[in-house]
Amino acid sequence: MMMGNNNEARSGTFGAHVLAASFFLGFGVFFLVLDLQRARACLERGESFCKLHVPEKNRALLRRAGLVLFTVSMTGVLLDGVVAFLYLRNFFFQLLHQTLYLSFGFVGFIAYLESKRRLPLDSSRVALAIALLLFHLVMSAHAKMKPGSTDAALHAVMANLCLVHALIYAFSVWNPKSLVAYVMTHALLVVQGVWLVTLGSFECCMDIPLHLVETLFSLELLTVFAAIVVTAITVLPPLEDEDGAAPSEHKNGPNSEEYAQLVPAASVLVDDSV
């Protein structure tokens, strides 16, 4: 990789990619920080993170996140349309981008309805899984129309990342007890944001050899995950059990009825053995 611009055709702009990246990075970092704060509080109180926070039960958070997501997405639709209309007299010239904005705007609308108890819990995460699946389909088509092979490969990686992200979101909805899957849904938002910055950098000022596209993505993925792990082990106290559950979650824990019944029996066994 090197700075500069080779002769390969490029059809995007740095600004457009970074604008989209800020959306993913903003939401991803926000929810990862929130996860850390909640996890620390749960560990200190001996409570289960997933029981308290998965699916999301904070209606105010859902409402605000939904409104922000809807507003930002609809603004993107309008901006793309107005710019295209001014230059080309065609409001839907950037229909691909507008479709992506609309899909995430739909997620924001669903989150708002969920916060008002008009839809069941976790409806917003189901909608987000669908939006990411649509992102995969649209980005796959977008990659096919790219004139350069490296540009196409970069966007194909983004499309595949969206598919994996959609599947993990779906799994997290199906299995709300999986803390790893839940955190992964937020971590991959950051990965998508970082990769979008890479796409924008390629469009303006960075050459990436075709055979190093997947290698570069792998390094970025590992860097993001390493940063999350290091932050987690720095901020969070050690887990009290091997499985990461609080003692109160175990049926045979020190405070359980089963444990209380076992103590006298254990004493008898000890006395007999002596």
Mean pLDDT score of the chain: 83
Q: How far is CA 26 from the centre of its chain?
A: 11
How sure is the predictor about 11, in pLDDT bands with cuts at 50, 70 and 90?
low
Structure tokens at 34: 């929130």
Structure tokens at 82: 């107005």
DSSP 247: G
Task: Give the number of other CB atoms < 10 A from CB of residue 94.
Answer: 20
**Which residue has better confidence, 272 or 228?**
228
> 194-229 as b/e, with b when 16 or more CB fall inside 10 Å?
bbbbbbbbbbeebebeeeebeebbeebbeebeeebe
Cα dist from 50 to 170, 181, 183, whole Å: 16, 11, 11
pLDDT at 241: 55
Structure tokens at 152: 């196409």
Is the four-CA dihedral 250, 251, 254, 255 of positive or negative sign? positive
Above pLDDT 70, what percent of the chain? 82
The values of phi and psi at residue 3, to 5°, are: -80, 150
Query: What distance in Å separates the CA atoms of residue 227 and residue 225, rounded to the nearest whole number?
Result: 5
Structure tokens at 22: 């800020």
User: Is the model's pLDDT at 248 over the cut of 80?
Assistant: no
- For 141-177, how does the pLDDT look when each residue is reduced to its tens digit (9 = 90+)? 988 888 889 989 999 999 999 999 999 999 999 999 9
pLDDT at 8: 60
Where do the domains of the chain lie?
A: 17-273
pTM (two decimals): 0.81
